[in-house]
């Protein structure tokens, strides 16, 4: 099937370089890779082999189905943790062991199920224990609850103790130190387990909470783990959309659904061939009283205006020479000239949301890692 005209370029060399940079930063701790949400929109079958080839051997996914894809895309020596744990009402749990997947166990009921399965193996399959240190989302609610569950059900095969930062992108947030201390207490109680806490932003905290294993996600894909500072990561994803049509409107005329933006001057508009069905935020365009995102066309940033519609969006290209803005010319929505997080912020969302919501209609161009 022929794809829609939008072009999504994925630079596997930049992806691999980002992992190598982070691995060097945290050594001697090990550096994993989070490839959940279809590898943040890039595709597990695209990203996982590139990360494996550059040396990554520990991966995190969210669901068992993602784990199966990750296993098929990596080698037998890859360790794959399933962050959301054992799925409720999903049998058999033995599928995890058969696929070589390590669930992240965060409740006594899950530990009982997994221990019952592990008892059938001479060498129990590996798994991780999740202690909630402040997120109040998943994980054992306290160290006391975790230790009580281990005493009751055992923990044969456990090889990792982990938790998750609440606000590591805010270096001055006191929750960071509190969570580090809570996990340190648990680590002292379970010294035989490796420990992991740091996500992408956690790798740049002054406390350097690398422990035994780190698990970057969005930073691998080019998102900025240090908001407010220069992005230390390479650009991995570039989204370019062609112009379909241009037109002039007079001052006082509007564009887009519900007339949410009115031209303050005689304005030239360019309509581009992507919309919210392709993962663009509906709020990316400027409306009355609020600026929107910008796209890079012919060497200049141009504001998106009006509501983004299902398959189209509109840019104000008045300040560009008329002869350089024509049907077929490409607008960069994010990439080397428009940072991912900049486009996301101006659209009222975050880079995670943009990447994981990338539409299926784009032509995907994968640039190989030149080091492989």
- What is the per-residue pLDDT across 64-101, written as a single tens digit (0 to 9) for each? 999 999 999 999 999 999 999 998 876 667 788 889 99
pLDDT value of residue 90: 62
Low-confidence ranges of the chain (pLDDT < 70): 1, 90-92
Per the CB < 8 A criterion, the answer to whether 312 and 293 are in contact is: no
pLDDT value of residue 95: 84
pTM here? Answer: 0.96
Residue 250's contacts (CB-CB under 8 Å, 6 or more residues apart) are: 263, 266
* d(C-alpha 48, C-alpha 325), whole Å: 38
Collapsing DSSP states into helix, strand and coil, what is residue 315? strand
Return the number of other C-beta atoms located less than 10 Å from residue 225's C-beta. 24
Per the CB < 8 A criterion, the answer to whether 10 and 36 are in contact is: no
- What is the per-residue pLDDT across 171-200, written as a single tens digit (0 to 9) for each? 999 999 999 999 999 999 999 999 999 999
Listing DSSP states for 33-99 in one string gives EE-HHHHHTT-HHHHHHHHHHTT--EEEESSHHHHHHHHHHS-TT-EEEETT-SPTT---THHHHHH
Per the CB < 8 A criterion, the answer to whether 261 and 272 are in contact is: no
pLDDT value of residue 4: 77
Give the active site residues. Answer: 36, 257
């Amino acid at each position: 099937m022929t794809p829609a005209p939008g072009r999504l370029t994925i630079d596997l060399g930049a992806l691999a370089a980002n992992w190598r940079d982070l691995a060097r930063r945290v050594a001697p701790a090990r550096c994993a890779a989070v490839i959940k949400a279809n590898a943040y929109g890039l595709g597990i079958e695209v990203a996982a082999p590139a990360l494996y080839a550059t040396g990554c051997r520990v991966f995190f996914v969210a669901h068992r189905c993602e784990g199966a894809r990750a296993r098929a895309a990596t080698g037998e020596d890859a360790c794959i943790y399933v962050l959301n744990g054992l799925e409720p009402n999903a049998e058999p749990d033995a599928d995890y062991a058969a696929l070589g997947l390590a669930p992240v166990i965060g409740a006594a009921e899950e530990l009982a199920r997994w221990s019952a399965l592990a008892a059938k193996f001479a060498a129990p399959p590996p798994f991780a224990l999740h202690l909630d240190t402040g997120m109040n989302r998943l994980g054992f609610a306290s160290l006391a609850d975790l230790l009580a569950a281990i005493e009751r059900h055992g923990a044969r095969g456990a090889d990792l103790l982990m938790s998750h930062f609440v606000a590591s992108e805010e270096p001055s947030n006191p929750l960071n130190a509190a969570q580090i201390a809570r996990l340190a207490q648990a680590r002292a109680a379970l010294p035989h387990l490796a420990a992991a806490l740091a996500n992408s932003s956690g790798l740049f905290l002054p406390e350097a909470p690398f422990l035994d294993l780190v698990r970057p996600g969005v930073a691998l894909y080019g998102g900025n783990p240090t908001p407010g500072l220069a992005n230390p990561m390479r650009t991995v994803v570039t989204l370019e959309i062609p112009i379909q049509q241009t037109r002039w409107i007079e001052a006082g005329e509007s564009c887009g659904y519900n007339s949410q933006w009115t031209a303050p001057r005689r304005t030239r508009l360019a309509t581009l061939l992507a919309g919210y069905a392709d993962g663009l935020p509906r709020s990316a365009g400027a409306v009355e009283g609020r600026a929107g995102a910008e796209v890079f066309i012919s060497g200049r940033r141009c504001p998106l205006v009006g509501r983004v519609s299902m398959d189209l969006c509109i840019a104000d290209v008045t300040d560009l020479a008329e002869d350089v803005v024509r049907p077929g010319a490409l607008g960069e929505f994010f990439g080397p000239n428009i940072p991912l997080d900049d486009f996301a912020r101006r659209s009222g969302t975050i880079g995670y949301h943009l990447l994981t919501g990338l539409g299926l209609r784009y032509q995907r161009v994968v640039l190989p890692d030149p080091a492989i």
